[in-house]
Chain A
Amino acid sequence: MIPVPPAIQRIPWKLIAILSGITGFGLLVLYSAAGGSWSPWAWQQGVRFLVFMIAALVIGRFPIRIFEDFSYIAYIGVLVLLIAVELLGFVGGGSQRWLNLGFMNLQPSELMKVAIVVALARFYAQLPPGNTRTFTALWPALIMIGFPAALVMLQPDLGTALAISIGGVVVMFVAGLPLWWFGGTAVAGLAALPILFSFLHGYQQKRVLIFLDPESDPLGAGYHISQSKIAIGSGGIGGKGFLNGSQSHLDYLPEGHTDFIFATMAEEWGLIGGLALLFGFFLLLRWSTRVALKARTRFGQLTAAGLTMTIFFYIAINLMMVMGLAPVVGIPLPLFSYGGSSMLTIMTCVGIVLAIENDSKTGARRLH
């Protein structure tokens, strides 16, 4: 056998293959969504992917210690940015979600999805085991989740607030907090649902109501879901064929290159394309879950598990939305949808998980 140089061996080829497969498929769909053209979406998305991919590989080489040490600082930094956005929005009148950095628009709420997981992982990694089932294990975490989630809700961005919360809650769950806390919260949450509903903005309430009965307004707010289901359903098993999707090409499908890209894909590639994509995501999540299980440190375990959930949440909510199982919340499909913010978040997650994987390969398991 030809000896493979260690430098090449250390590059996670399988992971790169999975990510490239998903993104590459996405590029084809973007190419089709643009009416058979690499511009304006596919070309830019491809370049962006390469940049973020390299960034993720670089992050993956960082020692895990760095993430642990900077976790609180990063969390506080992102929190400050969130408040800044809120203030800017307040000053500017109306809602604002991003900061203009000149070269790109930064959405602090996207960064928060990662920061919350890392910060909570650190918190639970440092928590003495004996305190796991005490109140000490609960209240700092609740504040850490609740503060940014509330700020994001103010923007208002229900989807991201949920993503932040779910990432944090999963870290709490795998950290070993008593089960009945989660069960109790779930029951209380269900009971409080009508009250929470009343806190939502008018258009958010409408989205939820239309999700419950999309046919009630097929030309208005239910239009997105109806058209998305038509696109997926009319694709059938084999799809209408590449570049042949009428729903997307004739503009019946709104947001066909961003939030509803799955419908664009399903129309042309059918059930087969959908299952292939789901399989790709399955491989990605299986990899990160395995990393979590094999992680050498407790911080690594919790972080990897939380970030896996963050990635999963994107996928699940987006797919549920396009298939009419969830309200329209404006969450893109990771790596597939056109857009920089979500890809930045996902690739950061991937990079950190990669660092945890590299860490677990280098030394003995050390859970403290």
Chain B
Amino acid sequence: MPKKKSLPITEAWRGITFTRRALVVGGAQAAIGVALAARMAYISVIDNDRYVLESESNRVNLTLVPPRRGWIVDRNGKALANNRVSLRIDIIPDRLHDKAGVLGQLRTLLRLDGDTMERINRDLKAASGFQPVAVAEDMTEAEYSSILVRLPELPGVAPQRGFARNYPTGAAVGHLIGYVGAPTAEEYQKVKDPLYITPGFRTGKDGLEKYFQTMLRGKPGAKRVEVTARGKVVRELETTPDEQGKTVHLTIDADLQDYVARRMGRESGAAIVIDCQNGDILSFVSMPSFDPNSFSDGISSNEYAWLRADDHQPLINKATRGLYPPGSTLKPMVAIAAVEQGVDPSERHTCIGGYRLGRRFFRCLGVHGSLDMASAIMKSCNSYFYWLAHRLGYDAIAPTARLMGLGEEFQLAGSQQRYGTIPDSAWKMKKYDQPWSASDSLNAVIGQGYVSVNPLQLAVMTARIASGRRLYPRLINRQFKNEPLPFSPEALAVARQGMDLVVNGAGTAVRSRLPLDGITMAGKTGTAQVRGLGTGNGKSGTWKYRDHGLFVGFAPVVNPRYAAAVVIEHGMGGARAAAPVAKDFMTFLFDREKAMEALETFEAGWGGTIKERMDRDYAAWKSGVPSDPDPGVPQ
């Protein structure tokens, strides 16, 4: 390029300059062309994988289909928890273009309340892409079809036929099965599985549903569809069906479970029935209960508040988490311990209405006169057992109690247990730093004082006395050794004989004889004081200060098949509140029709089935009328 000004600018120079500069421009163009080619090669070759993926994720919309949850069935294959069809409406955020319009329409069509709208808006804000947001679940056919016909005007709305958990017997299995619920944000954060934020997916939240979660869950299906940018489905690519979760087989007898739950009536308590042949738990009831169906659909805060407010504590599983002084129900166990310690069961002791220990006089409930061991059980004579306890000391009895399963925490699927206390001198020294006293023994022997057990332990104890074997309770088919108890046949025989007399002799529960020919029940009543011994009589007054009523029993007396424990909180007495319940469900095991007749009479008096009563109570609670705090005593 000529720079000197002196050089004359001629046409020739201009021509050369043009050629040069045109070549520069052409060269620059060619360079840009090469750069463009390189850029294209970079995008389509080096970055190819990434863009192929993005193109596929554009094209293909993958929706997870929540798996059908495995069933939970009873010993006969009858469903305790299954699935029912649930109609639901979701919103796909990516396809929702007119948010206000669509939500407004949904609100009018489905009559959604403000809380729901707020939740939907919140979920929509948090969700992205094709992650569906639930609008309504468990819709009626009418509601569902009202959306279906308007679907073309509602872009972004996705109706689905899904499944919801169903508990055919409702509240009767609440504490046994637990319930399911939508996974929480924390659960999702932990696993990062997109299934956890798929509407309709539920995880077990409590009880067996939680314990067997991995088994019951199943594998989600997937629906792959090709969609346009506007969300129109072009075609379905492929659908992988979901894989239903595995079925959990329980040892429960669904009919018995339902019967026992219903027979508990308006009372608060627990009842457990165990098969004496193998330790199978046939019924596992804690009442009042909650309806797990309500929880599975997402319980309303109102209903939850109602359950919490109930002084009968429907949210607590009393079968394993309720601790009670067992009262006289431990006397057959004490008898076995005494015989094992060398006491002659035919040795008589005279009840003078109590037992004198030093300066204190421990009262009996009656003046029973001269009694041997079996009749002491029959009459539930405290004096006789005070005498035994004073003679042997509780340290000699506690090991037997533990062999019977008292104070033990069982390896039981899905249960959280409070296992109570079987005290002895070492325990007291450790806990209170005090030596064991004779009066401690006397209190413990009649199932008061430091002794506390849960209803499950009582049922296990009864099953072990009835079978003579160390039966281990089970809800699923697990194998246990169930070896014979190290007790002499005489010891077991005395206990069984005493229990036989309680019901079929002149005992405390004669009114609860089975109304059956040839089949009898043996048992032992117990009445546990809620207030300290000797303060108040526990037979009247405010519900929550009344005595607990307990009953343990087995049937038939010969070759026992079923063992049971019933605890009725504040039932005022074992014979009065607990034994009749046991009588009816034992009858049910042998003669269903007769038992159902009895139950229907009761339910007519109580105001209907569990569900009917619960619905009525809930409605009353919502309208501000307090529910009946003093339920009548059955019978």
Contact = CB atoms under 8 A, between A and B. Distances in A.
Contact of A323 (B5, B33, B40, B234): B40
Given A250-B59, A285-B29, A308-B25, 14 more contacts: A130-B8, A133-B5, A133-B9, A170-B25, A175-B14, A233-B43, A236-B44, A236-B45, A237-B45, A247-B58, A247-B59, A251-B228, A251-B229, A274-B37
Instruction: Name B's interface SS.
Output: helix
30 contacts: A129-B9, A132-B14, A173-B21, A176-B14, A176-B18, A179-B1, A227-B58, A229-B43, A231-B55, A232-B51, A233-B47, A233-B48, A234-B54, A236-B48, A237-B45, A237-B48, A246-B59, A247-B55, A250-B59, A250-B226, A252-B228, A271-B44, A278-B40, A289-B22, A308-B25, A308-B29, A309-B25, A312-B29, A316-B36, A323-B40
Nearest to A325: B39
B39 A230 contact: no
A174 B24 CA distance: 9
A292 interface: yes
Interface residues of A, number: 52
Interface string B344-363: 00000000000000000000
B36 A323 contact: yes
B40 A234 contact: no
Contacts of B29: 285, 289, 308-309, 312, 316
B55 A246 contact: yes
A30 to B, nearest CB: 19
A233 B37 contact: no
Contact of B41 (A175, A227, A271, A298): A271
Contacts of A133: 5, 9
Interface string B129-146: 000000000000000000
Contacts of A316: 29, 32-33, 36
The binding surface of chain A is classed by DSSP as helix
A301 B8 CA distance: 22
B17 A176 contact: yes
A319 interface: yes
A275 interface: yes
Interface in B1-38: 1, 5, 8-11, 13-15, 17-19, 21-23, 25-26, 29-30, 32-33, 36-37
Interface string A168-195: 0010011110010000000000000000
Contacts of B11: 129, 367-368
A224 to B, nearest CB: 12
A176 B21 contact: yes
Contacts of B56: 234
A274 B33 CA distance: 11
B227 interface: yes
Contact of B36 (A179, A237, A278): A278
Contacts of B23: 293
A245 to B, nearest CB: 9
A227 to B, nearest CB: 8
Interface residues of B, number: 45
A251 B230 contact: yes
B50 interface: yes
Given A236-B45, A250-B227, A293 B13 contact: no
Contacts of B19: 293
Contacts of A229: 43, 51
Contacts of B37: 274-275, 278
A235 B40 CA distance: 10
B22 A237 contact: no
B22 A305 contact: yes
A308 B18 CA distance: 14
Contacts of A275: 37, 40
A271 B45 contact: yes
Q: Of A170, A179, A236, which is in contact with the most chain B CB atoms at under 10 Å from its CB? A: A236
A282 interface: yes
Contacts of B55: 230-231, 233-234, 246-247, 267
A289 B33 CA distance: 15
A129 B22 contact: no
Interface centre among B11, B21, B55 (most CB of A within 10 A): B55
Given A230-B55, A234-B54, A271-B41, A319 B21 contact: no
A41 to B, nearest CB: 19
A42 interface: no
Contact of B58 (A174, A246, A320): A246
B299 interface: no
A281 interface: yes
B52 interface: yes
A305 B59 CA distance: 45
Contacts of A234: 48, 51-52, 54-56
B295 to A, nearest CB: 38
Contacts of B47: 233
A227 B460 CA distance: 69
Interface in A289-310: 289, 292-293, 298, 301-302, 305, 308-309
Nearest to B44: A271
A176 B18 CA distance: 6
A252 B36 CA distance: 23
Interface in A228-259: 229-237, 246-247, 250-252
A174 B21 contact: yes
Q: Which 9 pairs of residues, A with B, have the shortest CB-CB distance? A: A233-B51, A234-B55, A251-B229, A176-B17, A246-B59, A234-B51, A250-B228, A233-B43, A174-B21
B229 A250 contact: yes
B131 to A, nearest CB: 15
A174 B30 CA distance: 17
Contact of A235 (B44, B58, B229): B44
Interface string B213-246: 0000000000000111110001000000000000
A231 to B, nearest CB: 7
A114 interface: no
A168 to B, nearest CB: 13
A250 B18 CA distance: 49
B49 to A, nearest CB: 9
Contacts of B15: 367
A319 B36 contact: yes
B421 to A, nearest CB: 64
A266 B228 contact: no
Contact of A236 (B36, B52, B54, B234): B52
Contacts of A278: 33, 36-37, 40
Given A282-B33, A316-B32, A367-B15, A271 B40 contact: yes
A275 B40 CA distance: 9
B38 to A, nearest CB: 10
Nearest to A236: B48
